[in-house]
Structure 1
Amino acid sequence: MSRIAWLDMLRGYALLCIMLNHMPLGWLRQFTLGNFAVFDAAELFVLLSGFLVGLVWIKVEAQDGRRTAQWRFLRRAAQVWLALVIGGVLLALLSRGLFALGLNHTAIWSEYARWIVTYPLPYIGTLALLWMQPNLLDVLALYVILLGLAPVTVPMLLNRPLWFGAGSLALWLAAVPLNAALPNQRVEGGLLFNPFGWQMLFFAGVAMGAFRRRFMPALLRRAGWITALAAGVSLYSLGMAALWRLGPGGKRLADVMWNAVGVVDKWSLDGVRFAAIIAASWLVAVPCAPALAMMAGTRLGRAAALIGRGGLFSFVACVLLSVLGDALAMNPPGAGALRRICIDIWTIAALWLLSFLWMNRPGRRRQMPARA
């Protein structure tokens, strides 16, 4: 199926944000998404992934039947699981090598470097069983679960969208105790990215992709009101994220805005963050779509889109590069702004190059379908 260039560009931007956000001393991280909204690249990436699942499912089911679509996403879940295991091993080995060279880093937990050498088989086994999810790669465990259940859940969503939405909301409301009951390495129990909470954002994306042709005409007839509401939510989100930079007065106003909505928890997908990303998605898809299409045609837009099309490979690469960039920025200590900017630019260029090589590897089919 034909690709939407600006969606690939947004996926690439999300990956760049994830990479830069995981480099504590990075200079360019001040321009990532979380600086301008109450949500961050994680919400953007999960929503876009769900949207692509909806797009691809509808296309595959129409052409080849539901069974083919179900098998496709089972295979995709297996690929994500394999990427989690391989990525976890590479992450630990990279950390071990950096420590051996005397290059300290804080982007990931240092114990992984010890476990991969001292307990290699138990380390790999805990990764494979999802008992442990190394930080920076932990969102992949969420994808394994959501995609593994997609052959059952997506047909339910397509057949009974209102009932499915009610059930998804109920799971989200009970997400914290349900996640805590899951056996896991964490003292708190459960996964860091709470699957009972984040499923609501993922399936909201699936519904957007699957039902967009059915519902968009009706929504566009009320575009003025919806855009005004979405803009208001987005401005509030921007105020929460950015007003503190404007001095004591701005910080006081930001504190009032935060206190008005209460505790905003990322890991169980807080309602404030959910509302903010849904509002932003409307602005992106409707009033801002022409501008984003123009941006996707620029050199920078095409470069970001290439990274976005790299999918799992680009995600694992961005995680590994964030650890390497973190180590380069920390050693020797006291790096100035210019050096940190150069390291940031180097990691971005390296991610683009790796994505380019991956997308142009020998044997890859010239025309690839959109991947969820």
Structure 2
Amino acid sequence: MLNGRDPRIDFFRGLALIFIFWDHVPHNPLGQITLRNIGFSDAAEVFVFLAGYASVLAYGKVLQREGYWMAGLKILRRTWVLYVVHIFLLAILMGIVFFANSKVETRDLVQEMGLTHFITNPQQALTDELLLRFKPNLMDPLPLYIVLLAGLSLVLPLMLRYTGAVVAVSATVYLLAPWMGWNLRAIADGVWYFNPVTWQLLFVLGGAAALHAGRPRPVKPRGLCRQPLFIVAAAYVLAAGVITLSWRWPEVHDAWMPPALSNLLYPISKTDLSPVRLLHFLALAYVTAKLLPGRAWTEHWLARQTCRMGRFSLEVFCLGVLLAPLADMVNALAGDAFVMQLFTALVGAGLMALLAAWLELNKRLSQHPQSA
């Protein structure tokens, strides 16, 4: 039986949303402390994995309680909501970017955001938008989530009964996709930046983790230093962090990196979710779960704000997408001053937290209407 909502999942979803916002603001000093600077994976892996976890947890309960057809209909209804949100979000984003571009004279923000296709061929761009082929910068995660969630409507009953088999098939598709060239068509690079044929494995693994967490397991007290898997995972996370930090100094990196290891490691593809990225995220997630086994720390004030953002991840993600070009515009107008960059990063995260607080308050008011 699936367990209830885990506040740790909400916390890390909220943290991933903050990191995604910071990573999308050029020259943002707080972007230096996000996951992409301390390892091979980044907040995108966290977002997709936890999306799979939360989706299977939520709709798995619906399937167990109301049957497959009701669960499938609710998944497809949510997929439609995401699709409509994607269309409106892109329209608002284009308006913001065009406005920002008129204010910033030193850069072409329209080109940087990947909106040139709309300028040169607006009619085709509108069609491509409806077909999820026109995805400017910042917009890639949402279409990926739409496709993966739609696929869950077919896979969910199999996941609940044959979890291992579904993971095995998913892993096989993941391994074959880069070799066979499987991807979806898109404008710009010709394919989706987040290849859904490979990223589906992370979504499925997230769902499998949700099912595994709901199964009773005997408690075996044992120090972390005596757990071989933890030691190996922690060593890999540490090694990835050292290698990633060395990228800041190419001469140092080239001097100590063995050619054999370099040929094995590079290129690290984000589009096809390179195995070293996947393994880094899984190792990082395992180490984090072992170091933070309880839930008491999520009761702290700052953690509660982050958890709230994770509970309203769609709305907060959309706000972050819209705030990123505005923060970039303000920073550019201020001459990319460090203080302004830090200010816009903190204000943006604060506005995302305020939106989540307002949505939670509104939800409570709707659940407990005042009597006339």
Instruction: Select which of 105, 115, 121 maps to 2:118.
Output: 115
Q: Work out whether 1:149 is the aligned partner of 2:151.
A: yes
Amino acid at match of 1:85: I
Deviation at 1:355, TM superposition (A): 2.5
SS of structure 2 residue aligned to 1:286: helix
Deviation at 1:124, TM superposition (A): 3.5
* CA RMSD between the two structures: 3.0
Which residue number corresponds to residue 23 of structure 2?
21
* Cα deviation digits, residues 49-90 of structure 1 (max 9, x gap): 111122113322222222222111111111111121111111
Once the two structures are superposed, the pairs formed by residues 299-338 of structure 1 within 5 Å of their partners are 299-333=301-335, 335-338=336-339
Check whether the contact 1:37–1:234 (CA below 8 A) recurs between aligned residues. Answer: yes
Tell me how many residue pairs correspond in the alignment. Answer: 362
Q: Work out whether 1:230 is the aligned partner of 2:230.
A: no
* Cα deviation digits, residues 134-182 of structure 1 (max 9, x gap): 2211121111111111111122233333332232122112223655563
Instruction: Select which of 129, 136, 141 maps to 1:134.
Output: 136
SS of structure 1 residue aligned to 2:178: helix
* Cα deviation digits, residues 224-280 of structure 1 (max 9, x gap): 222222212222222222245689657744677655523211111111111111112
Instruction: Indicate the larger mover: 241-250 or 128-137.
Output: 241-250
Cα distance in structure 2, aligned partners of 1:192 and 1:280: 23
Cα distance in structure 1, aligned partners of 2:199 and 2:217: 24
Once the two structures are superposed, the pairs formed by residues 236-255 of structure 1 within 5 Å of their partners are 236-244=239-247, 252-253=255-256
Cα distance in structure 2, aligned partners of 1:277 and 1:106: 32
The alpha-carbon distance between structure 1 residues 272 and 215, as it changes in their structure 2 partners (threshold 3 A), is farther
Check whether the contact 1:93–1:116 (CA below 8 A) recurs between aligned residues. Answer: no
Check whether the contact 1:145–1:195 (CA below 8 A) recurs between aligned residues. Answer: yes
Q: Work out whether 1:268 is the aligned partner of 2:272.
A: yes
Cα distance in structure 1, aligned partners of 2:140 and 2:268: 20
The alpha-carbon distance between structure 1 residues 126 and 216, as it changes in their structure 2 partners (threshold 3 A), is farther
SS of structure 1 residue aligned to 2:194: coil
Instruction: Select which of 270, 280, 286 maps to 2:284.
Output: 280
Deviation at 1:282, TM superposition (A): 1.5
Cα distance in structure 2, aligned partners of 1:298 and 1:310: 19
Which residue number corresponds to residue 44 of structure 2?
42
Which residue number corresponds to residue 84 of structure 1?
86
Check whether the contact 2:183–2:192 (CA below 8 A) recurs between aligned residues. Answer: no
The alpha-carbon distance between structure 1 residues 122 and 262, as it changes in their structure 2 partners (threshold 3 A), is closer
The alpha-carbon distance between structure 1 residues 102 and 339, as it changes in their structure 2 partners (threshold 3 A), is closer
Which residue number corresponds to residue 358 of structure 2?
357
Deviation at 1:106, TM superposition (A): 4.2
Q: Percent identity?
A: 24
